[in-house]
């Protein structure tokens, strides 16, 4: 049916709370959906359960030149500062496919026939291999969630959905099988457990964050429109909001000449939120130029708020100044 954003726009309006790779890559698939069977059962009963349930991500780093400085004092007090670095599942599984295989073997009590029957409840009458918008709305209603809630983004991640407003039969059945969920009550339970784990594990959240970019892409596109990027940023940061996030959204909305967000900018914004220090930001590091413009914009606003004006009027809005001198510049 193509890609749409209407399922997620409402939450985005209410809450401020990757380049060479193929946009359809599943390297950021939900690790919870591929965890061992007893991981879910232990959540809520063991405060350390997360430490043996979440695998380390397997994709490569954003860049060989990391913009983050080592062992440097940080003024940012975001919620993720206390996150722990967690190891691979059982400390031994070498690849995500090995984890998936192990998980499926240990969750055979989930009946494929039951999952097929559940899929039939929500499948589209005109396309029996798809659950489309109407079916997703009914599924959300049965789960007691709105289609625009964070939990539905998490569900899409756990199913490794290829695009918004659509679950294929393979995604739905295989995803729920790996989640060990074959009815509405167990799906909701798994989602609740997953959200709690996302709050506690930075690596797991990073995988959801990267998935969200790919999930929001239009078919055959490699960049997000600014409008969709803003809505998805607001959605993915629903549970935990970084410092300066509202400033970032304000900056983007004030500059409509920023038309699209590429994968590297999306990915590196998460790194940027973890540094969260406007005053110590180093524009000689390997940050996207859009971050340079944001920092300059924030510094100008701070000066203005303090009653200090730029007399030569050269630095009131760095991004607009750059656009005026080169209106063909691609903001990345």
Residue finishing a domain among 200, 224, 259 = 200
Instruction: Name which residue leads in pLDDT, 102 or 257.
Output: 257
Position 126 scores a pLDDT of: 94
Same domain, 267 and 299: yes
Residue finishing a domain among 200, 215, 232 = 200
Same domain, 284 and 247: yes
Position 102 scores a pLDDT of: 47
256: its two tokens: 């409509």
Residue in the block written with tokens 């993720």 = 80
Q: Whole-number mean pLDDT of the chain?
A: 74
Instruction: Name which residue leads in pLDDT, 144 or 325.
Output: 144
Instruction: Name which residue leads in pLDDT, 273 or 34.
Output: 273
- For the cut 90, the answer to whether the pLDDT of residue 29 exceeds it is no
Answer for the pair 64, 266: CB distance below 8 angstroms, yes or no. Answer: no
Q: What's the CA gap between 242 and 273, in Å, rounded?
A: 6
Least confident of 100-109, 178-187, 259-268, 272-281: 100-109
Same domain, 240 and 299: yes
- Which domain CATH number covers 136? 1.10.238.10
pLDDT tens string 245-299: 999 999 999 998 999 999 999 999 999 998 767 888 888 888 999 999 999 999 9
Burial of residue 48, with CB atoms counted within 10 A of its CB: 0-12 exposed, 13-18 middle, 19 or more buried: exposed
What is this structure's pTM?
0.69
pLDDT tens string 223-238: 999 999 999 999 999 9
Same domain, 194 and 260: no
Candidate ranges 47-56, 94-103, 108-117, 228-237; pick with highest mean pLDDT: 228-237
Question: Domain containing 296: what range?
Answer: 201-306
Residue finishing a domain among 200, 225, 248 = 200
Q: What's the CA gap between 7 and 5, in Å, rounded?
A: 5
Answer for the pair 219, 3: CB distance below 8 angstroms, yes or no. Answer: yes
Position 23 scores a pLDDT of: 47
Answer for the pair 232, 224: CB distance below 8 angstroms, yes or no. Answer: yes
Q: What's the CA gap between 125 and 310, in Å, rounded?
A: 63
Residue in the block written with tokens 């009914």 = 138
Answer for the pair 133, 7: CB distance below 8 angstroms, yes or no. Answer: yes
pLDDT tens string 115-140: 999 999 999 999 999 999 999 999 99
DSSP character at residue 260: E
Kindly report the number of other CB atoms within 10 A of residue 154's CB atom: 24
Position 31 scores a pLDDT of: 58
Q: Which of 211, 254, 215, 197 shows the shortest CA–CA distance to 52? A: 197
Look at residue 126 and tell me if it is in a domain.
yes
pLDDT tens string 135-164: 999 999 999 999 999 999 999 999 999 999
- Which domain CATH number covers 268? 1.10.238.200
- In the chain, what percentage of residues exceed pLDDT 70? 59
Q: What's the CA gap between 291 and 289, in Å, rounded?
A: 5
Look at residue 92 and tell me if it is in a domain.
no
């Amino acid at each position: 049916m193509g890609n749409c954003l209407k399922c997620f726009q409402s939450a985005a309006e209410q809450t401020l709370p990757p380049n060479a790779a193929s946009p359809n890559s599943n390297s950021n698939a939900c690790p919870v959906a591929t965890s061992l069977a007893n991981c879910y059962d232990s959540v809520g009963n063991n405060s350390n359960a997360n430490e043996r349930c979440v695998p380390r991500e397997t994709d490569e780093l954003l860049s060989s030149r990391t913009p983050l400085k080592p062992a440097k004092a940080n003024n940012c007090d975001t919620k993720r500062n206390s996150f722990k670095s967690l190891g691979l599942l059982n400390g031994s599984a070498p690849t995500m496919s090995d984890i998936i295989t192990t998980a499926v073997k240990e969750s055979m009590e989930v009946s494929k026939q039951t999952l097929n029957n559940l899929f039939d409840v929500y499948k589209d009458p005109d396309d029996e291999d798809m659950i489309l918008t109407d079916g997703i709305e009914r599924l959300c209603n049965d789960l007691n969630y709105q289609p625009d809630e964070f939990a539905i983004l998490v569900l899409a991640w756990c199913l490794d959905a290829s695009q918004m407003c659509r679950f294929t039969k393979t995604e739905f059945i295989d995803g729920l099988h790996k989640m060990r969920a074959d009815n509405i009550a167990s799906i909701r339970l798994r989602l609740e457990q997953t959200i709690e784990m996302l709050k506690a594990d930075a690596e797991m959240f990073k995988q959801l964050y990267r998935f969200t970019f790919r999930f929001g892409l239009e078919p055959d596109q490699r960049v997000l429109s600014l409008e969709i990027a803003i809505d998805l940023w607001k959605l993915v940061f629903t549970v935990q909001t970084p410092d300066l996030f509202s400033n970032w959204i304000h900056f983007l909305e004030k500059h409509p000449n920023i038309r699209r967000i590429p994968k590297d900018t999306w990915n590196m914004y998460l790194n940027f939120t973890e540094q969260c220090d406007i005053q110590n930001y180093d524009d000689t590091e390997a940050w996207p130029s859009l971050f340079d413009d944001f920092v300059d914009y924030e510094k100008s606003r701070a000066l203005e708020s303090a009653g200090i004006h730029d007399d030569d009027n050269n630095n009131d809005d760095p991004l607009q100044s750059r656009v005026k001198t080169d209106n063909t510049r691609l903001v990345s």
